[in-house]
Structure 1
Amino acid sequence: MFDPPNALFSACSFLGFIISIIPLYWHWEAQNAGACLYMFWCAIANLNQFINSVVWNKSALNYAPVWCDISMRLLIAGNVSLISASLCMTRRLYSVASYAKYSKRRELSIDLSIGLGIPVLSMVLTYIVQGRRFDIYEEVGCWLSLVNRPPTYPLFYAWPLVLGLVSGGFGVATVYRVLHRHRSLRGVANYQDNFSRHVRVLILSCADIICTVPLSSYFIYVNLQGITPWVSWSDVHAQFSSVWQLPSVVWKAEPYYGSVLQVCRWSNFLCALLFFATIGTGEEALRHYCGFFQAIGTRLRRVGLWVTGVARRCFRPRCDFMMNSGGNEV
């Protein structure tokens, strides 16, 4: 089983949080709702995992039940948030490639409905199949506890698969239109300037789809082998207040379950790294980085000149006195 040190994961998850929010400023100015939603959810997921890995580094005690309730909702949202944000980006690229006329307000409403509405709806619906309030795993922290019943699949497991297939459909249609109409697309206003950025976004979305659809299909296939029939609401939530507290030696002893935990927690950092590699290193990003460092350099020069002026005003009377007295103080 892939078992890196927990300190390495904490450092990587915090790095994932930082690199997720770096390009947020100029994408917010450009009103790229899909990219902003992707950065928001990716940063939240990495920060959530970072806090859990630090607080429960060498313990599985129930230190903060309220935080675990919040962390559970974020984990549920993370199940669909990144792929729903990718759907927003691929749908927007499809609109650009197909010359679709759209209202910015209407497009923003649709993107928010997909990128925020679906994760929030998933948070609400998952409570139906949530067997316990939460579980705590040493090194991992708070984790979700679901029953393996038939409603669990449409309410939780099927969301990433369905969204990934829909997003993949938009991605394939976009690539088809770009390849067959690239010459005509060059005449669209501002398209040539943004073509490289659109390609990078499409690469990011396709990578998310390629990773999401097979993993979701595999998890559904494996869990279907242990499915049990639905009895009643009271049966599912009979032990809802109980909290399982598992040390690392216990959950790591189960190869499949331990691998699932590691894949789920490391996937957020990999998504942040992939996002920064595709979106945060483009020409537009490099221009913003250069402008940022130039502004910092200008401010540092101003601070240096101010400090030099203050030093001269403070020490000049003393220097004049020493020169007048021949360098000897009385």
Structure 2
Amino acid sequence: MFYELPIAAFGAAFLVLVPLPWHWRARNVPTLSIIAWLFFSDIMLGTNSLLWAGNFHVKAKVWCDIATKLQIGATMALPACCLCLCIHLERIASVRQVRTTIEQKHRRMIFDLVMCWGVPFISMALHYVVQGHRFDIVQEFGCRPATYISLPAIFLLWVPQLAVVALTLGFAGAALYHFFRRRLTFARHLQDSNSALTPSRYFRLMAMAIAQMVWATFLTVINMWLSCRDGLRPWISWENVHTDFGRIDRFPRLFIPEEQWDWAYFIFWSVPITSVMFFLFFAFGQDAVKEYKACFRAVRRTFGFFTDKKQPLPSVAPFTPRFPTPERKSTATDAGSDATAIHSKTIHDIPLTPRSTSSFGTVIPPFDKFDYDFGSLHKNSLSSDIHFAPRHDVNDMA
């Protein structure tokens, strides 16, 4: 048994979901569609490798009918999604459109949905034209789509894929051309275009689209060469091609030539490799780092891992605020005798900060009616402890 096949497929399905949160918040239909198609493809490959590990029995027929059609759609979905992405990037980099209205956003979303999902489903429907029988079962790899290798198969399956790849590379080149023309003001232009893209995100998306298209071109050419290297079969009629359509062909490991087995092994690994490529382009950006930190904080709060111990607060001198003692009414005769007593009471009732050689001697007056004499500050400026004496008006006390 090839234990690495399901492990690689399910692991790639998990990795492709890591950039999902920030792409979902950005409402980027092409990148969300790429995530969905790669996830479904990895899950299908992993399930097939588990069901047909070490055997080639006919089972799970309905599953194979669905899985084989989705495999055909996925080969067209990735170029179509990258084409939508490059069209959007080229529009932003050019000067044809500075601001995007709500109606234009709606039209762009409809176009993206048609290209990312409608075109792959059309390709799945067209595959029925050249589908000679129900499907094939290959040991270790599971069910595979069956194709009547002929001239119509080339024009219905592989030529559209190569055409979409060529358009994608063309729009990517135009976007880079517009960038180099206004590279000094590109960041300002992104801001003026009312787009959530930053220069780093822009180039990350552009690099991902170009890398995926080069990789998709290589896979499409290899698959077409492997299928057609033994020659094309003649297209006689619809009835001839679809004769005994319910047939299921099985291919055990012992009957497969070593060269074809190696290519089948490589075709299986092409989908997890594509998923890992997509993950690497978005796993180390600023958005990804923010998501990692948020997840780490959530896990730490939930399970109490890596919690920081509370450090004790530094000791502070005790401070107890006191309010001034209300003054008693006095007559003019004993005003002079009581002035000293009142002064001695109120001077100690003012809330002072802890006095030390390093304190700045700030005094917070408890009431507005007290007015402090700062003349004593000049007299006692050389002393380490500064006292503020309240000034009293004898007429007020009288």
TM above 0.5, one fold?
Answer: yes
After superposition, give the CA deviation of every residue in 1:255-290 in whole Å (9 maximum; x if it has no partner): 1x3243223211110111001100122111111111
Please state if 1:203 is matched with 2:203.
no
Residue aligning to 2:246: 241
After superposition, give the CA deviation of every residue in 1:18-58 in whole Å (9 maximum; x if it has no partner): 01112112211111111101111011110000000011001
Residue pair 1:6, 1:57 contacting (<8 A) in 2 also: yes
Instruction: Name the CA distance, whole Å, in 2 between partners of 1:291 and 1:196.
Output: 21
SS in structure 1 at match of 2:150: coil
Structure 1 segments, 4+ long, off by >4 Å, are 190-193
Change in 2 beyond 3 A, CA 1:193/1:132: closer
Q: Which amino acid counterpart does residue 286 of structure 2 have in structure 1?
A: E
Q: Which amino acid counterpart does residue 268 of structure 1 have in structure 2?
A: V
Instruction: Name the CA distance, whole Å, in 2 between partners of 1:34 and 1:185.
Output: 23
Residue aligning to 2:236: 231
Q: CA deviation at 1:221?
A: 4.8
Residue pair 1:158, 1:216 contacting (<8 A) in 2 also: no
Q: Which amino acid counterpart does residue 144 of structure 1 have in structure 2?
A: P
Between structures 1 and 2, the one with greater helix share: 1
SS in structure 2 at match of 1:59: coil
Q: Which amino acid counterpart does residue 214 of structure 2 have in structure 1?
A: I
Instruction: Name the CA distance, whole Å, in 2 between partners of 1:37 and 1:22.
Output: 14
Residue pair 2:26, 2:196 contacting (<8 A) in 1 also: no
Between stretches 10-19 and 202-211, larger displacement belongs to 202-211
Residue ranges of structure 1 left out of the alignment (5+ in a row): 305-330
Residue aligning to 2:19: 23
TM-score normalised to the size of structure 2? 0.71
SS in structure 1 at match of 2:53: coil
Please state if 1:296 is matched with 2:292.
no
SS in structure 2 at match of 1:136: strand
Residue aligning to 1:64: 60
Instruction: Name the CA distance, whole Å, in 2 between partners of 1:18 and 1:221.
Output: 32
Q: Which amino acid counterpart does residue 64 of structure 1 have in structure 2?
A: A
SS in structure 2 at match of 1:186: helix
Q: Which amino acid counterpart does residue 17 of structure 2 have in structure 1?
A: I
Residue pair 2:187, 2:198 contacting (<8 A) in 1 also: no
SS in structure 2 at match of 1:238: coil
Instruction: Name the CA distance, whole Å, in 1 between partners of 2:229 and 2:108.
Output: 38
After superposition, give the CA deviation of every residue in 1:131-151 in whole Å (9 maximum; x if it has no partner): 110010110000011011111
Between stretches 77-86 and 165-174, larger displacement belongs to 77-86
Q: Indicate the RMSD between aligned Cα atoms, in angstroms.
A: 2.0
Residue pair 1:86, 1:167 contacting (<8 A) in 2 also: yes
After superposition, give the CA deviation of every residue in 1:163-202 in whole Å (9 maximum; x if it has no partner): 1101000111111111221112221217796111111111
Q: CA deviation at 1:300?
A: 2.1
Residue aligning to 2:267: 264
Residue aligning to 1:153: 154
Instruction: Name the CA distance, whole Å, in 2 between partners of 1:220 and 1:9.
Output: 24
Residue pair 1:150, 1:227 contacting (<8 A) in 2 also: yes
TM-score normalised to the size of structure 1? 0.85
Instruction: Name the CA distance, whole Å, in 1 between partners of 2:299 and 2:65.
Output: 41
Instruction: Name the CA distance, whole Å, in 2 between partners of 1:105 and 1:185.
Output: 25
Aligned length: 297
Residue aligning to 1:308: none
Residue aligning to 1:163: 164
Instruction: Name the CA distance, whole Å, in 2 between partners of 1:225 and 1:295.
Output: 57
SS in structure 1 at match of 2:66: helix
Q: CA deviation at 1:130?
A: 0.3
Residue ranges of structure 2 left out of the alignment (5+ in a row): 308-398
Which protein is bigger by CA-based radius of gyration?
2
SS in structure 2 at match of 1:179: helix
Written as runs of structure 1 = structure 2, the 5 A alignment for 1:134-145 is 134-145=135-146
Written as runs of structure 1 = structure 2, the 5 A alignment for 1:47-126 is 47-99=43-95, 100=97, 101-102=99-100, 103-126=104-127
Residue aligning to 2:290: 287
Residue pair 1:186, 1:192 contacting (<8 A) in 2 also: no
Residue aligning to 1:9: 5
Q: Which amino acid counterpart does residue 213 of structure 1 have in structure 2?
A: T
Q: Which amino acid counterpart does residue 249 of structure 1 have in structure 2?
A: L
Residue pair 2:186, 2:199 contacting (<8 A) in 1 also: no
Change in 2 beyond 3 A, CA 1:234/1:142: same
- Taking only the aligned residue pairs, the percentage that are identical comes to 27
Between stretches 90-99 and 68-77, larger displacement belongs to 90-99
Q: CA deviation at 1:301?
A: 3.2
SS in structure 1 at match of 2:301: helix
